[in-house]
Amino acid sequence: MIFVVDDDDAVLAFVTHALKGAGIAVEGFATPTALLDRLQRVTPVLVISDVMMPGMTGFELRAAVAEQYPNRQLPFIFLSSMGDDASIIKGLELGANDYLTKPIAPELLIAKVRSHLRLLERERGPVFNGDLAKFPAVKILQFCELHGFTGEVTVTAPGLVNSVLSFEGGNIVSDATGKTDEVLEKLLEQRDGSFVLRPRAPDFSALASARAAPMTTKGAAPAHDELPMGRLSGIRVDERLFQIQTELVAKPTALIVTVVIYEGRTLQKRSTPPAPGSDRAALETQIKSQHTAVEVEVQAKVQTLLQKPGSAHPTPKATFDDLLERGLTCYLAKAYAQALELWEQAHGLFPDNKTLQVNLTIVRKKLGV
């Protein structure tokens, strides 16, 4: 979704019509205030803004968004009749990704927008989507902590429409709106819904002097900006939680890779080449099919192992995961006292677990302790 704001009805209609005609989802706003209100519920991939508007200029809007949502990657393009050098320089210095001048041909506008969208996708890296029914909120937080995730998690569920949590190195970062705790509290109560993980690429500017000549690789691989979304889910069997992740790896040759992780260790890895000539839709279908097949295999294999005599006692990590999961079940049933008891037991095993610390803070708030 792209947001466009312009106080000129004709220009607003022109831009939105052009982008929609190119198959780009867009939402228009007549005032910066209306756009800011909408940002509380929806995070667009790009904002196109006029500069001279009553009440708040485009420059002021850009500054307000940066202040209110410092952890969101929210690119800006200014589209203005003010084409003097001073205005363009000011817009770019405010952090705009581009500055276009009116009037503009629709073909050029579309080309510019598509170019920025491709660049953004390359910068953000692969995207994973998942189902909260299979991979509940507490497991998302654990995953982010375990892998030092930096980026954004967008959740769509009852009462949470495109709600965004920002992470830096596996830690949740609160934004200036003060809504992070509210989102976390609602998220823990969700049984249904979906989530999307969008990693943010690291900044390699400090290593600029170490750059080497590019290497050539064998095999034709899809361009990075054409990679399909990956899959992420969790399979729980008895006291064991297995994390399953599938993605398209483009280099050195294109492969669809699925890994099964348990207690931080990779137990299984499957790599298959994409079908020749596959487009994005076909690749996504193949990714989903392989991911689902591995899910079924994991369940069957673990069930078989559990039926064998002499199975080992649960490890501390398995016990911790069980306490965490049982506590979540109690929390969802609004049995907050039982949830607190179970999570405090888990805290005794791994007191530094940040996900558990978040859960304890929320449930203690519920109980007023």
Residue 261 domain boundaries: 128-200+221-306
Summarize pLDDT for 189-231 with one digit per residue, the tens: 887 888 888 777 655 555 556 655 554 444 444 444 444 467 8
Q: pTM for this one? A: 0.45
Task: Assign residue 338 the CATH number of its domain.
Answer: 1.25.40
DSSP string of 75-98? -EEEEES--SHHHHHHHHHTT-SE
Residue 341 covered by a domain? yes
Query: Which pairing describes strands 230-237 and 240-249: parallel, antiparallel, or unpaired?
Result: antiparallel
| Domain count for the chain | 3
Same domain, 107 and 234: no
85 plus 167 within the same structural domain:
no
Question: Is the same domain home to 85 and 183?
Answer: no
Q: What is the CATH number of the domain that holds 100?
A: 3.40.50.2300
Q: Is residue 213 included in any domain, yes or no?
A: no
Is residue 115 helix, strand or coil?
Answer: helix
Shared-domain flag, residues 359 and 264: no
Judgement on whether residues 135 and 280 belong to the same structural domain of the protein: yes
CA dist 257 and 254 (Å) reads: 9
109, pLDDT greater than 70: yes
| 353 inside domain | yes
Residue position matching structure tokens 């076909």: 282
pLDDT digits (tens, 9 = 90+) for 295-338: 888 888 777 766 665 555 567 777 887 888 888 888 888 888 99
- Do 141 and 255 reside in the same domain of the chain? yes
